[in-house]
A and B are shown apart, each in its own frame.
Chain A
Amino acid sequence: MISGRARRLGDFVNTDLLFTNKYDDRGQSLDEIATRAVEQLPGLQSGDVLVGGTNFGAVSSREMAITVMCRLGIRAVLAKSFSRLFYRNAINNGLYALVCDTSPIDDGDALEIEPEAGRIALPARGTVLDTTPLPPFLSQLVDAGGLLPFVRLHPGWM
């Protein structure tokens, strides 16, 4: 189970603007990019769960954004829908990206997430949100810590 505090964001979160150096050449190291992300999302803490609306990770969504999120200690991302490349990158990097109706979640809410069971609980309010569990093969990738850790363990993909 993943426990964390909700960090509420809006619709169409552009992870290329928030979590990469794609549009900003001031500093290229992961530390510098992570510092910039926290500046743009004040109060972001290790262990937080990012909560968006529709099309989270809109457009090109670089893999670097997930690398930086993991570095900042983000455990999971919840949204009404994801851009396909963000979703793919999340799976490939062992980050849970779960589709659910995020409307009832407020900034700061405590969340308890059980990805395999497809359950997201807000214990303080007694609310439980449903999410579709990942297909079994994609769960294996996430559980292994991502695509490359999986390939290291299973060079023949089996």
Chain B
Amino acid sequence: MKTLAEKLLSQHSGEDVRAGDILLVTPDAVMAHDGRLGQLMSLYAELGAPRTFEGEVVFVLDHYAPPPTAQLAGLHRDIREFAARVGARVYDVGEGICHNLMTERGHVAPGRVVVGTDSHCTTYGALNAFGVGVESSDVVALLATKKVWFRVPETIRVELTGALPQGVTTKDVTLWLLARIGEDGAAYCAFEFCGSGWRALEMDARFTLSNHCAELGAKAALQPFDERTRTWLGARGIVDYRPVAVDDGAVYVETLRCDLSTLQPQVAIEHHIDRVVPVMERAHTRVDVAFIGSCTNGRLQDLRDAVSALGGKRVAAGTRLLVNPGSKEVYLAALREGLITALIEAGATVLPPGCGSCVAMNRQYVPADGEVVVSSANRNFQGRLGNKNAEVYVASPATVAASAAAGHLATGAAT
């Protein structure tokens, strides 16, 4: 009887492992992005050992995209050259966010172990894969030796029942979890989701769920495989994989239960992601900038939610609405559905696919002193958007869009 984490890590290490064991794993794929490749390339040169790793190697230029300085454009040029030398696949500036591309382009599939230089690799758990963040030294050692070390995580089970009310999304579920167990409540742990409420979730909602578990300190956030997973992958031509089923009787450190029908829209207020309150308690808060995008909430359903929450209204005078589709796939699908037209007609500015204004490493839209940003991204600590004198609030795309129309915090829920 094993948790999904124990099963996936056992299969990829050839050992029968349990939570707490330390082991060496050969992943199926590794991702590194431009935010980490600078140090990674130096460490690779320093080690001087050639690549022996036979799995997929993917580099994504998304954090400094488009590059704001000549120095960072030079970093991108160096990464393209390095990729050619080590045989890595490159997704260039504007293709999208690493986690969108890893999932949409078939690098992640059920039953796989995929590592990457980013804490939000937890996203891959939505596809029944063990996705986990590592760092530059790990990737360099992996390229040379085919292996990466891990401690097998304990697992927290989350059972979802009921259905999400209108205007409430899985972002509100992770914000609920943050309020419940805090920003280090799942440190070193994996999550495993289950229940009738989970089964009813569409794939985009599931990606948000696994992605935002990174903010709880989680190592991985695994979900079972079902017909929805199969359909989503099949639509992208991904058919060759072996899902991993949940065992009855696996040992969990804790089981948390959430009746989705009781949730209301929530917001993490300034500087701490686990300072979570119902949106309506802060409805007086003025909003200067509203941002929809990021690896957490830059998918097609998020843009649909935004258009629906705007309800044909225009962005309030004095408020700016920025929209960053997560990838070209999302961007094109949103164009075909008329969502981009609706957003632009409402007053939004559409920015190129990439990490953009989630982290402001491309200096695309740094807020002014004293401004309030309400964001569908994942983090809100002081200085996240390049100005420690601005405040960032984190909420769902529905809440962000409704707030942009109102000019102050508001929910996309039916009233």
A and B together in one complex: yes
Interface size on B, residues (CB 8 A): 47
Chain B, Cβ-Cβ closest to A141: B149
Give the dominant DSSP class at A's interface: loop
Asked if A155 and B184 make an inter-chain contact with CB atoms under 8 angstroms apart, the answer reads no
CB of B352 closer than 8 Å to a CB of A: no
Asked if B135 and A155 make an inter-chain contact with CB atoms under 8 angstroms apart, the answer reads no
Asked if B135 and A85 make an inter-chain contact with CB atoms under 8 angstroms apart, the answer reads yes
CB of B196 closer than 8 Å to a CB of A: no
Which residues of A are found within 8 Å of B137, using beta-carbon distances?
63, 89, 92-93, 146-148
CB of A135 closer than 8 Å to a CB of B: yes
Asked if B47 and A22 make an inter-chain contact with CB atoms under 8 angstroms apart, the answer reads no
A83 to B217, CA, bound (A): 6
* Closest-CB distance, A46 to chain B (whole angstroms): 22
CB of A84 closer than 8 Å to a CB of B: yes
Chain A: interface size category? 35 or more
Asked if A89 and B187 make an inter-chain contact with CB atoms under 8 angstroms apart, the answer reads no
* Interface residues as binary, A25-56 with B (CB distance below 8 Å gives 1, 0 otherwise): 10010000000000000000000000000110
A35 to B382, CA, bound (A): 20
Asked if A22 and B145 make an inter-chain contact with CB atoms under 8 angstroms apart, the answer reads no
A99 to B207, CA, bound (A): 32
Chain B positions near chain A (C-beta within 8 angstroms): 22, 24, 35-36, 39, 43, 46-47, 49, 68-69, 71-72, 118-119, 133-138, 140-141, 144-145, 147, 149, 151, 183-184, 187-188, 214-215, 217, 219, 272, 359-361, 363, 379, 381-384, 386
- 16 interchain pairs (CB within 8 A)? A12-B272, A23-B359, A23-B360, A23-B384, A58-B184, A59-B214, A60-B119, A81-B187, A88-B138, A148-B43, A151-B47, A151-B49, A151-B145, A155-B145, A156-B145, A157-B145
Chain A positions near chain B (C-beta within 8 angstroms): 12, 14, 17, 22-25, 28, 54-55, 58-64, 67, 81-85, 87-89, 92-93, 135, 137-138, 141, 146-148, 151-152, 155-157
Closest 8 CB pairs of A and B: A55-B184, A63-B135, A92-B137, A60-B119, A147-B137, A151-B141, A63-B136, A17-B383
